[in-house]
Structure 1
């Protein structure tokens, strides 16, 4: 059997490299860092010979000797922030929906996972099933964890799934689930190894639909965060990556742009290999640039990122496009101050800071429990802000305030957008085991649609927890609950709740036959109770 690690193409092969000479000095280290998320202190830029111990070329040393010696300034020196960019979003930030319209959990979900997407999915799934039948395939029920939902004994009995469809029907659909047409897949597969081949062809129809919906239905607020997400997958494809430093050893990497205020996924891109973003400036540079569309977003946004993405060139180019940026950085990145005098040392007191300004770009070092390096085109180096830390004294632990640079405070405040997005996605995920790589991405797209729908619902109404929203969504998607009802008449008082308890319970659901509003929720299904009596 082929070794699993040998089956995945190396990320830093010379054959796939398309980087410009300007970025060659840190590109290899960049990909290594992306693959394993190395500690910044361990990141070492390979020299031209490819060996860390090799001697530096004479011409390179002479060039370095001519560079002026920089000196770090201290917290007593005054820094002036660059001129603030005007925030000019293309649309008013927030949900792009009419406030007077009522929006149920299902109606919001369908904005991301549209009727046309469902029809395409059904058509291509049926085509795949027909292809499988033509090959004489017979499906045997071997997925024990899935089959448990249809068991009838007292321990595992779950009545709901069997009311929707039979076990064998569900498994057959699951095994034949297909987002692209099987015939078109063949044509795309013939192009493998050429520039015309699309690695994501089998998920492209649904992925493009959801990406467009993410950018259309909601416009983000000013602070954005860029980071990567992970979809666990052990399928043997050129797109799955080995992530040795994470609990998810194998999977797909996604670059994600999120609204820092609520975790809304504004856009995402699946990493398919080193040539995914061939603009010639390195993977981290291209990933950020591909997610920030000025035509869609507008200008004046503040983008936060971690040290995998941050580089002086990226922040400078973003500033030229009227995007402010802030992020932690690695000292060995090209263009970052490295041998400057008066830098922090391991003996520097907690709260000590140093900074260097290069026009609109400021580099800041701050001593916390360990040294923190941040650069920004938004902030002044320090504005007198402080940060509290628990420190050990002779009388025990106590809270103490330390001076803290403005970029560090802003980074801590806004960088959690993608982390919040990933956290919300994991709460009620649709993921389950499958052998096909595209069926691992399919439920992740569903999770993005459902989570974004919840965030929009919360922005509009703010009266429902994430769990309650998912329960209502499942109930509304259940065919029996909505056959004779609709959610287009606006929110009104539930007739049954008013009659039974005198309480006001607003609901968007209206029975077309009885012309009354009735609740449709998992714990309170007034729609069914009303019609048992009528």
Structure 2
């Protein structure tokens, strides 16, 4: 057992006191822990425990929706700086026909690649044993083939065979004057946008990251996209939305969208000019996210279509609730793009459970808004609740809308206040819808066994519709129907004004011409009637 002197023992006590000495802060924390522990043990204080916890959680102030009576300031307006003057990027001194504008999208370079790949596919088919006759297709012949596709889009018949049907009341003579039915079918069967040998190499990479699902349409698709951005520069307001191309092929890329009129098919993300429906850019959804940002498909779809180096800055982009998120709108604002769109309440960083929100009993025209920096979240009660987010507008600037309301005395028109983002969204969001409407008027889509042919036909629709919009911007003298008729005539190498040929069946004799009367005295005998009379006379007396 160790023995210590008095001095050694005193030093040990001092050392132990120094070891267990607390600072004033530590003493306070220790006292709080002791008191808290005693309160937990005391049954009288157990009921107060949730209140104490709730007090700690509620330290953050709760958000509250503001009303239309509160003043909101819009963020600083972005300066509109497009890389080019908005409108057609063509020399005004040049004259542009429908065919010359169409050839800017389907250039002779793109057509030569299409011819070469089509001829290679035809040679491969003949090597497999197909016995149809097929000479190499030329560029001029392929333009005539496209002209026939547009003709069939305007003159609708039940099947392709009906366009070459003869000696029928419902026969159409024009297609047979352009090319034979067998020739048309041969080109259709072998039409190819990529080289068959390259297709085989790409198919061997299936299941790997190097495999390209759109390889068969890639050459023409890239050419069309570049032409869309080069020939026309959009105005300030743009719209982003989906477009469906009908197809039920089992490719792994077709989608089902319940809200669209065309539910099954390829889904395209489209950027369009809101003022006229011009398709500025598009991307085909392949069933997987090919973008590395990691922020989700809606975010990647919008950011991939908005190329600042091509467009410029200061544009206003409108989108629906599939795309809108605070993250996307904030990042677009940092890139000098304003954005506005409807949003879903369950999206991350959107206001939730805020006080003074709209309810099912809120009167029509009620407005609630919350501003978070450049973002403003607006709710408006129409027939149902509408939620819009914007980095462009103030919450409410005095705009109104008119709605028909049922009263005791019948229906009458009533004026309601409307938030500025909702008014702008309704005005500009229809850009893609307008584009879809123009495409559907004279679409070349029809049944086909090849999925890539469906996209080829859609590329034709985009090229023809964009060419019409550019022609309208330049001249504004033709309707859509007149433009398509002129385009078909030029592609097929014919004239629209064809003088009708008169034949013997067109002759209708004048009633009573063969009767002797004062009304017919001195009238010369019709040559056709005389020839027919002489022929009948000769047959009668043989």
For the criterion TM > 0.5, the same-fold answer is yes
2:333 to 319, 331, 339: 319
Q: Does the C-alpha gap of structure 1 residues 447 and 63 become closer, same or farther in structure 2, counting only changes over 3 Å?
A: farther
Is 1:116 aligned with 2:109? yes
Is 1:310 the counterpart of 2:303? The answer is: no
Closer, same or farther in 2 for the Cα pair 1:389/1:296, shift >3 Å?
same
Q: What is aligned with 1:95?
A: 88
Deviations 1:75-126 (A, max 9, x none): 1000000000000000000000011110000000000111111111111111
Q: Structure 1-normalised TM-score?
A: 0.77
| Structure 1 SS opposite 2:159 | helix
Asked if 1:190 corresponds to 2:183, the answer is no
Greater C-alpha radius of gyration? 2
Structure-2 separation of matches of 1:461 and 1:247: 33
2:432 matches 1:439? no
Whether 1:460 and 2:453 are equivalent positions in the alignment is no
Tell me if the contact between 2:244 and 2:264 (Cα under 8 Å) persists in the aligned partners: no
Q: Which residue of 1 aligns with 2:224?
A: 210
| Farther-moved stretch of structure 1 (251-260 vs 111-120) | 111-120
Q: Per-residue deviation at 1:279?
A: 1.7
Q: Per-residue deviation at 1:68?
A: 3.8
Distance 1:211 1:186 in 2: 25
Match of 2:121 in 1: 128
Secondary structure at the residue paired with 1:369?
A: coil
> Residue 237 of structure 1 corresponds to which residue in structure 2?
251
1:70 aligns with 2:63: yes
State the 1:64 CA deviation: 8.5
Residue 407 of structure 1 corresponds to which residue in structure 2?
421
Contact 2:270–2:432 (Cα < 8 Å) also in 1: yes
State the secondary structure of the residue aligned to 2:272.
Answer: strand
1:179 to partner: Cα distance: 0.3
Q: Which residue in 1 is equivalent to 2:76?
A: 83
CA distance in 2, matches of 1:92, 1:205: 29
SS of corresponding position for 2:267: strand
Cα deviations by residue, 1:385-439 (Å, 9 ceiling, x for unpaired)? 1011111122211111100000000000000000000110110001111111100
Aligned residues: 424
Other structure's SS at 1:107 match: helix
Match of 1:172 among 176, 186, 199: 186
Once the 2 structures are TM-superposed, how far is the Cα of residue 139 of structure 1 from its aligned partner?
Answer: 5.8
1:353-502 equivalences under 5 Å are 353-479=367-493, 481=494
1:332 Cα shift? 0.4
With over 3 angstroms needed to count, the CA separation of the structure-2 counterparts of 1:305 and 1:444, relative to structure 1, is same
Structure 1 equivalent of residue 9 of structure 2: none
Q: Which runs of 5+ in 2 are unaligned?
A: 1-53, 134-156, 502-542
Question: Aligned-pair distance for 1:191?
Answer: 1.0
Structure 1 counterpart SS, 2:377:
strand
Structure 1 residue 249: Cα displacement: 3.5
CA distance 1:165–1:362, shift in 2 (3 Å) = same
Report Cα offsets for 1:133-161 as digits up to 9, x if no partner. 10002469xx9711110001323311111
CA distance in 1, matches of 2:242, 2:356: 35
Q: CA deviation at 1:238?
A: 1.3
Alpha-carbon distance between aligned partners in 1 of 2:160 and 2:77, rounded to the nearest angstrom: 55
| Cα deviation digits, residues 487-525 of structure 1 (max 9, x gap) | xxxxxxxxxxxxxxxxxxxxxxxxxxxxxxxxx5x3x36
Q: Secondary structure at the match of 2:354?
A: coil
2:315 equivalent in structure 1: 301
How far apart, in 1, do the equivalents of 2:173 and 2:357 lie?
66
Following the alignment from structure 2 to structure 1, what is the Cα–Cα distance between the partners of residues 429 and 186? Answer: 42
Contact 1:258–1:265, Cα closer than 8 Å, also in 2: yes
**CA apart distance, 1:276:** 2.6
* CA–CA separation in structure 2 for the residues paired with 1:386 and 1:319: 27
2:244/2:263 contact within 8 Å kept: no
Q: C-alpha deviations, 1:434-457, integer Å up to 9, x for none?
A: 111100100000000000000000
Counterpart of 1:163? 177
Q: Contact 1:149–1:156 at 8 Å: present in 2 too?
A: no
**2:286 corresponds to 1:272:** yes
- Alpha-carbon distance in 2 for matches of 1:116, 1:87: 35
Is 1:346 matched with 2:360? yes
Secondary structure of 2:209 counterpart: coil
Retained in 1: the 8 A contact 2:194–2:215? yes
Say if 1:191 and 1:106 are closer, same or farther in 2 by CA, change over 3 A: same
TM-score (norm 2): 0.76
| 1:335 equivalent in structure 2 | 349
Is the contact made by 2:244 and 2:266 (CA closer than 8 Å) also made in structure 1? yes
How far, CA to CA, are the matches of 2:414 and 2:64 in structure 1?
30
For the pair 1:262 / 2:255, whether they are aligned, the reply is: no
Query: CA separation in 2, counterparts of 1:244 and 1:258?
Result: 22
Q: Distance in 2 between matches of 1:233 and 1:273?
A: 14
Find the aligned partners of 1:269 and 1:76 in 2 and give their Cα distance: 43
Helix, strand or coil at the partner of 1:208:
helix
Q: What is the CA-CA distance between 1:478 and the residue it aligns to? A: 1.0
> Per-residue deviation at 1:338?
1.1
SS of corresponding position for 2:416: strand
Cα distance between partner residues in 2 of 1:87 and 1:404: 26
Distance verdict in 2 for CA 1:169–1:316, change over 3 Å: same
